[in-house]
Amino acid sequence: KKLGGVSIALGTPAWFQGPRYPALNPTWDILANYQLTHDTGVYTRVYNQEILSKLDPEQVLFDFEGKTALCFENIKTVPAGFCHRRLVADWIYTETGVYVHEL
Protein backbone atom coordinates (compact mmCIF):
# COMPACT_ATOMS: atom_id res chain seq x y z
CA LYS A 1 0.00 0.00 0.00
CA LYS A 2 2.86 2.39 0.76
CA LEU A 3 4.11 2.02 -2.81
CA GLY A 4 0.74 2.64 -4.43
CA GLY A 5 0.63 -0.80 -6.03
CA VAL A 6 -1.55 -1.19 -9.11
CA SER A 7 -2.04 -4.60 -10.70
CA ILE A 8 -1.37 -4.89 -14.41
CA ALA A 9 -1.77 -8.66 -14.27
CA LEU A 10 -4.52 -10.55 -16.03
CA GLY A 11 -4.51 -13.10 -13.21
CA THR A 12 -4.47 -10.81 -10.19
CA PRO A 13 -4.59 -12.91 -7.00
CA ALA A 14 -7.78 -12.70 -4.95
CA TRP A 15 -5.83 -11.47 -1.92
CA PHE A 16 -4.78 -8.29 -3.76
CA GLN A 17 -7.48 -5.72 -3.07
CA GLY A 18 -5.72 -2.73 -4.63
CA PRO A 19 -6.50 -0.99 -7.91
CA ARG A 20 -6.08 -2.59 -11.30
CA TYR A 21 -5.08 -1.14 -14.68
CA PRO A 22 -6.54 -3.66 -17.15
CA ALA A 23 -5.38 -1.79 -20.26
CA LEU A 24 -1.89 -3.21 -19.59
CA ASN A 25 -3.03 -6.79 -18.98
CA PRO A 26 -1.79 -9.36 -21.46
CA THR A 27 -4.59 -11.33 -23.08
CA TRP A 28 -5.34 -14.97 -22.30
CA ASP A 29 -4.18 -15.81 -25.85
CA ILE A 30 -0.81 -14.11 -25.29
CA LEU A 31 -0.33 -15.98 -22.03
CA ALA A 32 -1.48 -19.32 -23.42
CA ASN A 33 0.90 -19.04 -26.39
CA TYR A 34 3.78 -18.22 -24.07
CA GLN A 35 2.97 -21.19 -21.84
CA LEU A 36 3.11 -23.45 -24.89
CA THR A 37 6.24 -22.03 -26.53
CA HIS A 38 8.17 -20.18 -23.79
CA ASP A 39 9.25 -17.82 -26.59
CA THR A 40 9.95 -14.45 -24.98
CA GLY A 41 10.58 -12.83 -28.37
CA VAL A 42 7.12 -13.73 -29.65
CA TYR A 43 5.52 -12.70 -26.35
CA THR A 44 7.27 -9.32 -26.51
CA ARG A 45 6.32 -8.69 -30.13
CA VAL A 46 2.68 -9.68 -29.66
CA TYR A 47 2.31 -7.78 -26.37
CA ASN A 48 3.75 -4.67 -28.00
CA GLN A 49 1.46 -5.01 -31.04
CA GLU A 50 -1.77 -6.02 -29.32
CA ILE A 51 -1.52 -4.07 -26.07
CA LEU A 52 1.03 -1.28 -25.99
CA SER A 53 0.58 0.04 -29.54
CA LYS A 54 -3.05 0.87 -28.71
CA LEU A 55 -2.17 3.02 -25.71
CA ASP A 56 -0.87 6.54 -25.23
CA PRO A 57 2.43 6.28 -23.32
CA GLU A 58 2.09 9.81 -21.93
CA GLN A 59 -1.33 8.91 -20.51
CA VAL A 60 -0.04 5.67 -18.98
CA LEU A 61 2.87 7.57 -17.43
CA PHE A 62 0.43 10.15 -16.04
CA ASP A 63 -1.88 7.44 -14.69
CA PHE A 64 1.04 5.79 -12.85
CA GLU A 65 2.47 8.96 -11.32
CA GLY A 66 3.44 8.00 -7.76
CA LYS A 67 2.29 4.41 -8.25
CA THR A 68 3.97 1.04 -8.68
CA ALA A 69 3.00 -1.42 -11.42
CA LEU A 70 2.55 -4.93 -10.06
CA CYS A 71 2.33 -8.28 -11.74
CA PHE A 72 2.25 -11.68 -10.17
CA GLU A 73 4.51 -13.91 -12.26
CA ASN A 74 5.65 -17.24 -10.94
CA ILE A 75 9.39 -16.61 -10.89
CA LYS A 76 9.99 -20.34 -11.23
CA THR A 77 8.36 -20.44 -14.67
CA VAL A 78 9.76 -17.37 -16.43
CA PRO A 79 13.32 -16.42 -17.37
CA ALA A 80 15.04 -14.05 -14.95
CA GLY A 81 14.12 -10.46 -15.68
CA PHE A 82 11.34 -11.32 -18.12
CA CYS A 83 8.02 -9.77 -17.20
CA HIS A 84 5.43 -7.70 -19.02
CA ARG A 85 5.88 -5.06 -16.32
CA ARG A 86 9.41 -4.59 -17.66
CA LEU A 87 8.06 -4.47 -21.23
CA VAL A 88 5.80 -1.60 -20.15
CA ALA A 89 8.71 0.19 -18.49
CA ASP A 90 10.89 -0.20 -21.60
CA TRP A 91 8.04 1.05 -23.82
CA ILE A 92 7.55 4.12 -21.62
CA TYR A 93 11.27 4.84 -21.80
CA THR A 94 11.37 4.41 -25.59
CA GLU A 95 8.30 6.57 -26.14
CA THR A 96 8.83 9.28 -23.52
CA GLY A 97 12.45 9.15 -22.38
CA VAL A 98 11.35 8.54 -18.79
CA TYR A 99 13.21 5.66 -17.17
CA VAL A 100 11.05 3.45 -14.94
CA HIS A 101 13.02 1.92 -12.07
CA GLU A 102 12.55 -1.60 -10.73
CA LEU A 103 12.07 -1.85 -6.99
Give the pLDDT score at 26. 93
- Confidence (pTM): 0.87
pLDDT at 101 over 70: yes
What pLDDT, in 10s, does the model give residues 83-94? 888 899 999 999
Q: Model confidence at 10, in pLDDT bands (50, 70, 90)?
A: confident
First to last CA, the chain: 14
The tens digit of pLDDT for each residue in 16-43 reads: 889 999 999 999 999 899 889 989 999 9
Burial of 84 (0-12, 13-18, 19+ CB in 10 A): buried
Average pLDDT along the chain: 89
Q: Does residue 20 contact residue 5 with C-beta atoms inside 8 Å? A: no
